[in-house]
Amino acid sequence: MIQHCPGCGRDLAQEDYYPSCWGVQGQPCKNCQNARAKRWRAENLDKIKQWRQKQGRLYTQNSHLLNRYGITQQEFFAMLERQRHRCLDCGINISGPKKAMVDHDHETGRLRGLLCRPCNWALGQTKEDPLILRKLAAYLDLDRSKLLLYITGALKNPRVPEIGNLLRAEGFDAFDEWFTPGPRADWFLHQYAKQRNLSYKEALEGRAVTNIHLFDRAYLDLADAVILVMPAGKSSMIEAGYAIGSCRPVYLFLDGEDPKRFDVMPSMFTKVINSESELVEVLKSDSSSILDGTIKGILH
């Protein structure tokens, strides 16, 4: 079946016409319509420029917001107003054109807010991983000219900050800030969870616990070595085991006193140490081996 094109005067098949023109006598073919549109654009450049300046960006932005995020331009500006035209991360003004980027959860599609372009890019580059972001913050705090020692132990053990002070005085960088909440921190967490009717699992998923966990783990991951100060509880044993599993040296500091109950698995520690002087001597002796990774978390 063919159809006559009044533009070029040819009889053409259906594929040479746009769907809306096929079967309607007197309609031009694709080539003729394209040529006519091209001529009109060439003759009306000023009109096109004015229309794009007035409507084009708004129309394009609205289509983009609807298609990608499911929100209208009005909803977009409402979000911007709620944020006082500031990036929710760095606080820079994002009122100007193309400055506000819509941030959303890539797994669920849930909108979170508006960020400036650099913050949105940074979030994407870190895979939106809270641990990576927390580790970057901890990384900025490090002095890589010093050995970073993560001191773990019990919140009720007053020797933890004392050992930290000893090692800092000897030129090491010691992390023991997790000790600051005090000996009743876990008890207060339990009481708070009871007030909110939270189970243990739900409490562990809360913002406060997550924030504390990410803070401690960031420095634990960056540490060159770990020192477990006895007596210690379950959490510190888990941290020590985690460090051993990541092939870093972990030292068991008995502080001159044997534990009340002997265990077998502490044989996995790099070394068992009895006194402060021995601890300093061993760390200084092992420093080069720790830095080049030749000393591991297994007692020989």
Q: Which positions ≥6 away from 221 have C-beta within 8 Å?
A: 131, 135, 246
Task: Look at residue 53 in the predicted model and tell me its pLDDT.
Answer: 65
How high is the pLDDT of residue 55? 53
- CA-to-CA distance for 261 and 10, rounded, in angstroms? 100
Q: CA-CA distance, 85 to 99, in Å (whole number)? A: 10
If asked whether residues 178 and 148 sit together in one domain, one would say yes
- 147 and 266, same domain (yes or no): yes
- Six-digit token string for 173: 């960088």
Total length of the chain: 300
List of the chain residues with pLDDT < 70: 51-64, 97, 296-300
Do strands 101-104 and 173-175 pair parallel, antiparallel, or not at all (unpaired)? unpaired
Domain count, the chain: 3
> What pTM, to 2 d.p., does this model score?
0.74
Question: Residue 87: what pLDDT?
Answer: 95
Q: Is residue 205 part of a domain?
A: no
Q: Per the domain annotation, does 202 fall within a domain?
A: no
Does residue 152 sit in the same domain as residue 287?
yes
Max intra-chain CA distance, the chain:
105
Both 168 and 241 in one domain: the answer is yes
236 in a structural domain: yes
User: Quick check: 183 and 156 in contact, CB under 8 A?
Assistant: yes
Alpha carbons 83 and 91: distance in angstroms, whole number:
9
In terms of Cα–Cα distance, which of 168, 146, 176 is closest to 287? 146
Query: Per-residue pLDDT tens for 162-199?
Result: 999 999 999 999 999 999 999 999 999 999 999 999 99
Return the pLDDT at 97: 59
Identify whether 244 is part of a domain.
Answer: yes
| Separation of CA 211 from chain center | 13
Q: Is residue 17 part of a domain?
A: yes
Domain membership of residue 154 as a residue range = 143-182+216-291
State the DSSP code for 48: H
Residues 123 and 169 in one domain: no
What pLDDT shows up at residue 220?
A: 96
Q: How many CB atoms lie within 10 A of CB 283?
A: 23
Domain CATH code at residue 238: 3.40.50.450
Residues 6+ apart with CB under 8 A from 233: 154, 155
Residues 104 and 75 grouped into a single domain? yes
| 256 and 232 co-located in one domain | yes
Do 151 and 28 fall within a single domain? no
Q: pLDDT at position 297, please?
A: 55
Domain-embedded: residue 197: no
Same domain membership, residue 228 and residue 164: yes
Residues 214-244: pLDDT tens digits?
Answer: 999 999 999 999 999 999 989 999 999 999 9
One domain, residues 33 and 153: no
The DSSP symbol for 203 reads H
User: What SS3 string covers 132-201?
Assistant: HHHHHHHHHCCCCCCCEEEEECCCCCCHHHHHHHHHHHCCCEEECHHHCCCCCHHHHHHHHHHHCCCCHH
